[in-house]
């Protein structure tokens, strides 16, 4: 997918790697790094790297590009405009049509879009009429994530779009200069209204329950794209609590954790601080009605810009004769708890939902293990919990979405299947070392389960006899198959080997594949073709969490096998689904079994991948008249088969699977033939 990244960007050594890191407030931040793991600074060219270097670096969640003076580059960020069903919000669609001649890609979340073009933006930052649009150029002190996840069929080159930028500015970025109050505050208390200070009221008593105010006042601007937008948000809050008193706003802001020397830095005839207060007063339409008894009567609280969906106050007007009977049902917005507080509460209450932070998908605990569910189903479950807490108070879909986003952080899980050396059966978690069975528990974060009860007395002689027949009675090859099936069940991916079964139709290779599937369950298996695996855009995502990967029809494929290399070599795979692109890669947890009529003839079949291959020939043909449904016949013996393969020790498994040449002598002729074919 990175092939779509424009050549202009690839040619510049202005790249960083980035990785998710949790902030003190629990939120995830995309922190920039150099490929060597040292922190990168967007304002220090010495910490930036060439594209090839960051692309080949391991242990990161993505890559990003830093805009520099002289590039003439502009990036337009459309935030949260792609709906779960893939549709685009109408206002964003108009912008995409405007910039249809240049490169556009999806953001790491898959919910936003980045438009790249050449030109000069009249102003950067968030739009004035639509806050989900933001423009960046070289003056923006940050990097921009780059995914290569091209939007539909847009061009793959960055083009000149000055006329489009001018039109965009006119519609979405034109400043509002009407009714801006004077910088000098009125001197008369009668003109401006008594402030909290005039009435000897402690403003921090008034704001003790205002979560957003307290976070900003303490210097936490993590919910805002820039320091300046957090400054504006705090000034807007202060305008509300000080009755729009500019002098009081300035005095209190200087006491806050957001204050810095830039506050007094001049921009033209005014300082940065004066201009920020001026803009806040122009935006402020509500204020606190103060009383002499040190209390405040709260009107509608100020609308403070942030990254959370806003909940409009749409409470209907109730006729006098109905007001009393509807009093308990119709309430104003201020009765809803802040999304952060409700999110904290629900994080402790909702025990059957977690968020897979690796691939950014919700999971539910069902049938004694965690399973992926659709995002809409997760929101529906969360909505029911919200309703339990707030009762009949009306709230919008945006409110649910805001709580859901907060819960993604609180319920994020980065590591699964936390109990080592265990296998999950229907009736419990089996510890391999002593064959002791434990009860299932959510806290183990098990993501798969073998669909059978563990029965230690079960046997499988018919299956063993059939496997021995398939390999011509060679005991060492029989033990090799046994060891590889053990590796499948126990996820021995560190052995970095894959099994290739070669045989014509009727030789039993298809039955062997189905036996392996039955060992771990079909829900824990992904079946594919080599061509689809290597060329399919969304195919690698299907491998996430699987214990077995089966490949058929491989002999006719003569292309690159880089994905097969990545799977068997434990390299990072991209997780991309249609309409959803997770920001983090993953490593395969399943082993590969290939079944074909002849060995792979890929032109890229290098000696490196050849060393990972174990080839076993099924040469014993069964007369067509004697063939029967072996899968159905072997079904009652699957639990016994599991017992048989688990009876091997980890050391025995490694000796057969990793050190095949030394321990399976009957395969030497096969190995020589493979070497000839490779060269």
Residue 593: the pLDDT is: 95
Indicate the DSSP class of residue 84.
T
Q: Is the pLDDT confidence value at 312 over 70? A: no
Q: Is the pLDDT confidence value at 285 over 80? A: no
- Please compute the mean of the pLDDT values over residues 503-525 and round it to a whole number: 89
Q: Is the pLDDT confidence value at 605 over 80? A: no
Domains and CATH numbers, the chain: 2-173 (3.30.2250), 189-297 (no CATH), 334-413 (no CATH), 461-678 (3.40.50.300)
pLDDT level of residue 297 (50, 70, 90 thresholds): very low
Model confidence over 237-282: pLDDT tens digits?
A: 998 888 888 888 998 898 888 888 888 887 767 788 888 998 888 7
Q: Which range, of 167-181, 235-249, 491-505, averages the lowest pLDDT?
A: 167-181
Backbone angles phi, psi at 303, to 5 degrees: -85, 105
- Please compute the mean of the pLDDT values over residues 468-488 and round it to a whole number: 95
Cα–chain center distance at 463: 43
- Please compute the mean of the pLDDT values over residues 531-554 and round it to a whole number: 86
Q: How far is CA 266 from CA 137, 231, 269, 442, in A?
A: 22, 16, 7, 57
Indicate the DSSP class of residue 177.
-
Contact between 106 and 47 under an 8 Å Cβ cutoff? The reply is no
Angle CA 412–415–417, to nearest 5? 125
Q: Is the pLDDT confidence value at 198 over 70? A: no
Residues 221, 230: Cα–Cα separation, whole Å: 6
- Please compute the mean of the pLDDT values over residues 292-320 and round it to a whole number: 37
- Please compute the mean of the pLDDT values over residues 427-439 and round it to a whole number: 90
Q: Is the pLDDT confidence value at 304 over 50? A: no
Highest mean pLDDT among 16-30, 131-145, 267-281, 455-469: 455-469
Residue 627: the pLDDT is: 64
Helix (H) or strand (E) segment spanning residue 670: helix 668-678
Residue 200: the pLDDT is: 43
pLDDT level of residue 584 (50, 70, 90 thresholds): low
- Please compute the mean of the pLDDT values over residues 485-496 and round it to a whole number: 94
Torsion of CA 607, 612, 613, 614, to 10 degrees: 130
Q: Is the pLDDT confidence value at 536 over 90? A: no
Residue 180: the pLDDT is: 36
pLDDT level of residue 332 (50, 70, 90 thresholds): very low
- Please provide the DSSP assignment of 323-338 as one string: HHHHTTT---GGGSPP
Contact between 82 and 113 under an 8 Å Cβ cutoff? The reply is yes
Mean pLDDT of the chain: 81
- Please compute the mean of the pLDDT values over residues 534-552 and round it to a whole number: 88
Contact between 52 and 60 under an 8 Å Cβ cutoff? The reply is no
Residue 557: the pLDDT is: 61
Q: Which range, of 23-27, 45-49, 398-402, averages the lowest pLDDT?
A: 23-27
Residues 543, 541: Cα–Cα separation, whole Å: 5
- Structure tokens that stand for 46 in this block: 């010495």
Contact between 15 and 68 under an 8 Å Cβ cutoff? The reply is no
Residue 168: the pLDDT is: 92
pLDDT level of residue 9 (50, 70, 90 thresholds): very high
Model confidence over 352-410: pLDDT tens digits?
A: 999 998 888 899 999 999 999 998 899 999 999 998 888 777 788 888 888 998 899 88
**How many CA atoms within 13 Å lie on the side-chain side of 550?**
23
CB atoms within 10 A of CB 366: 10
Using a pLDDT cut of 70, give the percent of the chain over it: 81
Residue 270: the pLDDT is: 78
Residue 66: the pLDDT is: 93
Using a pLDDT cut of 90, give the percent of the chain over it: 37
CB atoms within 10 A of CB 587: 15
Residue 529: the pLDDT is: 87
Nearest Cα to 411, choosing from 460, 345, 472, 455?
A: 345
Highest mean pLDDT among 38-52, 259-273, 476-490, 660-674: 476-490
Contact between 189 and 216 under an 8 Å Cβ cutoff? The reply is no
User: Taken in order 462, 467, 473, 477, is the CA torsion positive or negative?
Assistant: negative
> Which residue carries 């030789």 as its tokens?
507
Helices 475-490 and 638-646: angle between axes, nearest 10 degrees? 100
- Structure tokens that stand for 369 in this block: 């293990």
Indicate the DSSP class of residue 264.
G
Residue 186: the pLDDT is: 35
Question: In whole angstroms, how large is the CA radius of gyration of the chain?
Answer: 31
């Amino acid at each position: 997918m990175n092939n779509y990244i424009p050549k202009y960007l690839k040619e510049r050594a202005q790249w960083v790697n980035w990785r998710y890191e949790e902030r003190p407030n629990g939120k995830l931040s995309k922190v920039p790094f150099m490929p060597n793991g040292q922190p990168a600074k967007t304002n220090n060219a010495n910490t930036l790297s060439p594209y090839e270097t960051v692309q080949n670096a391991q242990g990161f969640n993505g890559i990003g590009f830093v805009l520099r003076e002289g590039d003439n580059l502009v990036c337009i960020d459309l935030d949260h405009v792609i709906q779960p069903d893939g549709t685009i919000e109408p206002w964003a669609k108009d912008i995409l049509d405007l910039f249809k001649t240049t490169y556009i890609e999806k953001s790491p979340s898959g919910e936003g879009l980045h438009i790249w073009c050449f030109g000069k933006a009249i102003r950067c930052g968030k739009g004035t009429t639509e806050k989900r649009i933001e423009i960046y150029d070289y003056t923006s002190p940050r990097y921009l994530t780059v995914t290569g996840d091209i939007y539909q069929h847009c061009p793959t080159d960055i083009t000149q779009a000055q006329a489009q930028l001018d039109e965009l500015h006119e519609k979405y970025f034109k400043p509002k200069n009407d009714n801006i109050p004077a910088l000098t505050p009125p001197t008369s208390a009668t003109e401006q209204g008594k402030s909290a200070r005039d009435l000897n009221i402690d403003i921090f008593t008034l704001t003790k329950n205002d979560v957003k105010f307290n976070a900003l006042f303490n210097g936490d601007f993590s919910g805002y794209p820039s320091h300046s937008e957090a400054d504006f948000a705090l000034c807007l809050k202060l305008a509300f609590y000080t009755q729009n008193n500019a002098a009081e706003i300035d005095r209190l802001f200087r006491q806050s954790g957001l204050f810095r020397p830039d506050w007094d830095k001049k921009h033209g005839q005014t300082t940065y601080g004066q201009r920020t207060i001026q803009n806040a007063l122009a935006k402020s339409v509500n204020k606190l009605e103060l009383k002499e008894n040190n209390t405040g009567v709260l009107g509608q609280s100020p609308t403070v810009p942030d990254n959370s969906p806003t909940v409009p106050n749409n409470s209907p007007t109730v006729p006098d004769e109905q007001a009393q009977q509807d009093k308990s049902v119709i309430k104003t917005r201020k009765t809803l708890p802040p999304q952060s507080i409700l999110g904290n509460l629900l994080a402790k209450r909702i025990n059957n939902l977690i968020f897979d932070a690796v691939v950014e998908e919700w999971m539910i605990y069902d049938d004694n293990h965690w399973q992926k569910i659709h995002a809409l189903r997760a929101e529906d479950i969360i909505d029911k919990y919200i309703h339990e807490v707030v009762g009949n108070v009306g709230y919008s879909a945006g409110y649910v979405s805001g709580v859901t986003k907060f819960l993604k952080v609180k319920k994020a899980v980065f590591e699964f299947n936390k109990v080592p050396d265990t296998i999950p059966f229907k009736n419990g978690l089996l510890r391999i070392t002593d064959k002791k069975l434990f009860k299932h528990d959510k806290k183990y974060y098990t993501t798969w389960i073998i669909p059978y009860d563990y029965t230690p007395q079960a046997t499988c002689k018919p299956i063993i006899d059939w496997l021995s027949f398939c390999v011509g009675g060679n005991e060492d090859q029989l033990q090799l198959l046994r060891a590889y099936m053990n590796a499948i069940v126990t996820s021995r991916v560190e052995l970095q080997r894959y099994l290739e079964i070669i045989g014509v139709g009727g030789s039993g290779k298809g039955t062997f594949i189905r036996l392996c599937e039955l060992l771990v369950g079909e829900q824990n298996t992904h079946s594919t073709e080599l061509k689809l695996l290597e060329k399919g855009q969304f195919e690698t995502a299907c491998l996430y969490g699987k214990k077995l990967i089966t490949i058929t029809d491989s002999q006719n494929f003569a292309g690159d096998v880089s994905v097969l290399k990545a799977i068997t070599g434990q390299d990072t795979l991209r997780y991309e689904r249609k309409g959803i692109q997770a920001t983090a890669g993953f490593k395969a947890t399943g082993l590969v079994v290939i079944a074909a009529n002849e060995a792979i003839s890929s032109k890229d079949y290098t000696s490196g991948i050849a060393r990972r291959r174990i080839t076993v020939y099924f040469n014993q043909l069964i007369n067509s008249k004697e063939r029967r449904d072996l899968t159905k016949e072997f079904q009652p013996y699957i639990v016994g088969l599991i017992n048989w393969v688990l009876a091997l020790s980890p050391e025995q498994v490694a000796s057969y699977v990793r050190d095949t040449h030394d321990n399976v002598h009957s395969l030497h002729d096969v190995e020589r033939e493979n070497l000839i074919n490779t060269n």
